[in-house]
Chain A
């Protein structure tokens, strides 16, 4: 079974600074997908970034980037130039290739301070 671990229940960062959220996962699969979702107080889950395991290049979306270490089964999210609107719960998720089974971590609550 696949498990996703987010070891940081809560984190905070000053506005305009950089923060990194950790995620590790356990799988015996070689083909899979990894996701970071953001859930602000509105409860609306929003996809932040997605990484295909077969791609060596780390995914980047504007201020958001990942450090994907396949051998270490690590998938951290870096948020640069943090903004107040980045305050939210962040969930790491794993999906095995060609399945519908998405497994989520317990989440990290990020607070961006002015």
Chain B
């Protein structure tokens, strides 16, 4: 594809349910990032994948959050037992390599936990 795509665009879920958010990076990009953007806030780093290396999970806010990247391409961010404070826009970005490269962002998934 021409850019980073994310699905769904919007997700409304009930408190306590699990959700999965998907990211398709730009073909050929080896690095993939997940960020969280709460209302009116900047971007909070969550997790980073680089090729087949172990991901950098240092930004995940709790053990309810996890992410996978299959085959070095598509990534899924999973939030278990969602809480209202998880409501935010979740942005995915990819870059050609990991270091000092411009990140290309997807349109994000707006998650609302009711």
Contact = CB atoms under 8 A, between A and B. Distances in A.
A33 interface: yes
B65 interface: no
Contact of A43 (B41, B42, B107): B107
Interface in B77-108: 89, 91, 93, 98-100, 102-108
A46 B89 CA distance: 16
A102 B103 contact: yes
Tell me what chain B mostly uses at the interface: helix, strand, loop, or mixed.
Answer: strand
Nearest to A45: B105
Contacts, number: 51
Chain A interface extent, by class: 20 to 34
A104 B43 contact: yes
A97 interface: yes
In this complex, the interface size class of chain B, counting residues with CB under 8 Å from chain A, is: 20 to 34
Contact of B33 (A33, A91, A100): A100
Contacts of A91: 42-43
A55 B96 CA distance: 22
A50 B42 contact: no
B106 to A, nearest CB: 8
A59 B82 CA distance: 43
Contacts of A107: 40-42
Given A97-B99, A103-B45, 13 more contacts: A43-B91, A44-B107, A46-B105, A47-B104, A50-B102, A99-B99, A100-B31, A100-B48, A100-B99, A102-B33, A102-B45, A102-B103, A107-B41
Interface of A: 4, 33, 35, 37, 42-47, 50, 91, 95, 97-107
